[in-house]
Each structure stands twice: as C-alpha cells, then as structure tokens.
C-alpha cells in the first residue's frame, strides 16, 4: 500500500510537469525553466524523505499514518534515481544554459562569462537605454526583432533558440486533428482535403495582413463609357 501511494503521488507530480510543458507559442527557455524547477523539487523531496518527512506526498503520508510503519529510505532512493534520469535526459539544457541566460536576461549577464563573439555586442546592448526600455515591454520573441542590424551575433543566437522545439506537443496536436477528421464515416474525404484541414490547424495563430492583401489585388474596373 505504501508503494502504491508513493507511485500515485509521484505520478501526480509528473502529470503537473507534463501540463506545464504543453501549449502553443512557448519558447525553449520556458521548458528549461519548468525542468529546472522540477529538478530542484526532486532534490528537496530527496532530502525530506531521507529525514522521514513525506510532506509533499499526501497519499503516502496518509497510508503511513494508518500503518505506523514506513521505510522512507527506499522512497528516497526512488527519488534519487528519478533525479538521475532527469539529469541524464536533459543534460543538453546544461550545455545551453549560457545561451539561455543571454537570451532571457541580456542586460544582467556578465560579458566576461560569454563567448568572445558576443561580448562586445552585449556591452553595447547593456548601454543602450532605448533597447533596455523595449525589453521590459516586449516579449522575448519580439524584442530580438529590434536588434537588427547592429547586433548580428545576438540576433543569430536568438534565431537559433526560437527555432528549437522543446517538445513534440505541436506534432502530436496535428496528429490528433488528423485522427479526428479522418474517420470511416467520412469516406469522401480526399488527401488534398485533409492537407487543407491540417494547414488550417497548423496556422490558426497566423493573423492575415488584410491591408497588404487588398493592396496586392487589382480592383475591378468597369468598361470605358
């Protein structure tokens, strides 16, 4: 019963993490923040369980209260193994940590800790009061549009991070849309129709520029009187 209760609590924590990693319009640094936060939680739980404290495992705590016997060491070992798995699976985040810091906090990083190619640009950026004001008002994905053409290396770094896919959520969402639409009851649905449906699902966040589209069209001119 204690093992089952522990598994229920751990699964609940993992489900909460899974929900944080879902959603559209997320940058890879947001996934990094969620993973880093969960690893710190694992370290906290490891220390607490080693001392016999199951404060963040309510099901386990209730079962242990009724049975009056609990071997917290084996649960602590499970958390240690889970933390080791997270360290191994997300080790690429550790290699990109400096790039993440430059991308998320360009005005607070220490230039001497960064690669030589962007040190001078970071110094210029940190002394640019106009861009510093825009950084607080704009999002991470839109602020970097203001860096061209004076900061080519920082712009290239931002483009690399913005192109990264942190999860397969978008791909799985498209597959779900396809499964919902492609059923046995829709026997007349052709491949080209399914392609149109998937294109609409993939571009639902794209806002059309109506003014530009209208200007590109030629007005219908009546015949000469």
Give 42-68 pLDDT, tens digit per residue.
Answer: 999 999 999 888 999 999 999 888 776
Q: Mean pLDDT for the chain?
A: 84
Of the residues 60, 95, 130, the one at which a domain ends: 95
pLDDT digits (tens, 9 = 90+) for 65-102: 877 666 788 899 999 999 999 999 988 888 888 899 89
Same domain, yes or no, for 88 and 27? yes
Rounded to the nearest 10 degrees, what angle do helices 116-126 and 152-162 cross at? Answer: 100
Identify the domain containing residue 51 by its residue range.
2-95
Q: Full-prediction pTM beyond 0.75?
A: no
Residue 26 pLDDT > 90, yes or no? no
The answer to whether residue 204 scores a pLDDT higher than 80 is no
For residues 87 and 111, state if they share a domain. no
Rg of the chain over Cα atoms, rounded to whole angstroms, equals 26
Average pLDDT over every residue of 116-145: 85
Same domain, 45 and 91: yes
Residue 210 falls inside a structural domain? no
pLDDT for position 221: 63
Q: Is residue 216 assigned to a domain?
A: no
What's residue 65's pLDDT?
82
Whether residues 55 and 134 share a domain: the answer is no
Looking at the structure, tell me whether residues 69 and 24 fall in a common domain: yes
Question: Is 144 found in the same domain as 85?
Answer: no
Domain count, the chain: 3
Is 116 inside a domain boundary?
yes
Answer yes or no: do 188 and 111 share one domain. no
User: Is the per-residue pLDDT at 13 higher than 60?
Assistant: yes
| DSSP per-residue letters across 117-128 | HHHHHHHHHHT-
Nearest residue to 197 via CA among 172, 170, 179: 179
Residues 6 or more apart in contact with residue 201 via CB below 8 angstroms: 173, 174, 177
């Amino acid at each position: 019963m204690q093992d089952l209760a522990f598994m229920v609590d751990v699964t609940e924590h993992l489900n909460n993490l899974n929900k944080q990693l879902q959603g559209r319009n997320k940058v890879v640094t947001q996934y990094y923040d969620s993973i880093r936060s969960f690893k710190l939680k694992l370290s906290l739980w490891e220390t607490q369980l080693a001392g016999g404290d199951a404060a963040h495992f309510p099901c386990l705590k209730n079962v242990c209260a009724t049975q009056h016997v609990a071997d917290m060491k084996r649960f602590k070992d499970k958390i240690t193994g889970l933390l080791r798995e997270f360290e191994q699976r997300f080790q690429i985040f550790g290699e990109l940590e400096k790039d993440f810091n430059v991308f998320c906090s360009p005005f607070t990083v220490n230039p001497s800790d960064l690669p030589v190619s962007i040190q001078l640009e970071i110094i210029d950026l940190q002394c640019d009061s106009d861009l510093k004001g825009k950084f607080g008002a704009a999002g991470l994905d839109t602020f970097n549009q203001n860096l061209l053409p004076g900061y080519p290396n920082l712009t290239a770094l931002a483009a690399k991070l913005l192109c990264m896919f942190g999860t397969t959520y978008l791909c799985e969402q498209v597959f779900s849309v396809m499964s919902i639409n492609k059923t046995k009851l829709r026997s007349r649905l052709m491949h080209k129709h399914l392609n149109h449906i998937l294109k609409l699902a993939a571009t639902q966040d794209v806002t059309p520029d109506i003014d530009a589209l209208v200007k590109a069209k030629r007005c219908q001119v009546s015949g000469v009187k």
